[in-house]
Amino acid sequence: MPPNAAGRRHRPHLDRSLRGVLWVCAGAFLIHLIPLFLPRNMPEQELAIARALPTAEQRVQFLMPLREHPKATPAELREAAELLLEGAPGQARELAQEAERRDPNAVETQLLMARICDVERMDRCVNASLERAAQVAPNDARPDLLRAELREKDGDVSGAAESAGRAYGKAPADPLIGLRYVRLLSASRQGGEALKVLGRLEGSMPRSRLLVEQGRVHAQDGRDAEAIRLFRKAVEDDPRLGVGFFELGLAWYRLGNLEAAEEALRESDRLEPSNPKGLAALCAMQLKAGNIDGARLTRMDLERRFSGKQELIRQSCSMP
- Calculate the average pLDDT of the chain: 90
State the Cα–Cα distance between residues 73 and 55, nearest whole angstrom: 23
pLDDT value of residue 12: 52
Say what the pTM is.
0.80
> How many other CB atoms sit within 10 Å of the CB of residue 14?
10
Q: Which amino acid, one-letter code, is at 114?
A: A
> Is the predicted pLDDT of residue 59 greater than 60, yes or no?
yes
> Is the predicted pLDDT of residue 223 greater than 60, yes or no?
yes
Lowest mean pLDDT among 24-38, 247-261, 272-286: 24-38
* 279 burial via Cβ count (<10 Å: 0-12, 13-18, 19+): buried
What is the CATH code of the structural domain delimited by 53-138? 1.25.40
CB–CB of 243/212 below 8 Å?
Answer: yes
Q: Which amino acid, one-letter code, is at 223?
A: R
Q: What does DSSP assign to residue 253?
A: H
Question: Cα–Cα distances in Å, from 18 out to 15, 32, 106?
Answer: 5, 22, 60
Confidence tier at 36 by pLDDT (50, 70, 90): very low
> Is the predicted pLDDT of residue 22 greater than 70, yes or no?
no
> Is the predicted pLDDT of residue 187 greater than 60, yes or no?
yes
What's the start-to-end Cα distance of the chain, in Å? 88
> Is the predicted pLDDT of residue 281 greater than 90, yes or no?
yes
> Is the predicted pLDDT of residue 7 greater than 70, yes or no?
no
Contacts of 207 (CB under 8 A, 6+ apart): 237
Q: What percent of the chain has pLDDT over 70?
A: 87
Task: Kindly write down the DSSP assignment for every residue of 279-304, as one continuous string.
Answer: HHHHHHHHHHTT-HHHHHHHHHHHHH
Confidence tier at 319 by pLDDT (50, 70, 90): confident
CB–CB of 182/217 below 8 Å?
Answer: yes
Lowest mean pLDDT among 20-29, 128-137, 216-225: 20-29
> How many other CB atoms sit within 10 Å of the CB of residue 11?
11
Task: Kindly write down the DSSP assignment for every residue of 170-229, as one continuous string.
Answer: H-TT-HHHHHHHHHHHHHTT-HHHHHHHHHHTTTSS-HHHHHHHHHHHHHHTT-HHHHHH
CB–CB of 88/57 below 8 Å?
Answer: yes
State the Cα–Cα distance between residues 232 and 98, nearest whole angstrom: 54
Contacts of 103 (CB under 8 A, 6+ apart): 74, 109
pLDDT value of residue 38: 41
> Is the predicted pLDDT of residue 87 greater than 80, yes or no?
yes
Closest CA to 196 of 219, 232, 172: 172
pLDDT value of residue 2: 52
Q: Where are the alpha helices (DSSP H) in the chain?
A: 5-37, 43-52, 56-63, 74-85, 89-102, 107-119, 123-136, 142-153, 157-170, 175-187, 191-200, 207-220, 224-237, 242-254, 258-271, 277-288, 292-305, 310-316
Domain ranges within the chain, ordered by starting residue: 53-138, 146-188, 276-320
State the Cα–Cα distance between residues 278 and 272, nearest whole angstrom: 9
Lowest mean pLDDT among 8-17, 40-49, 234-243, 307-316: 8-17
Confidence tier at 14 by pLDDT (50, 70, 90): very low
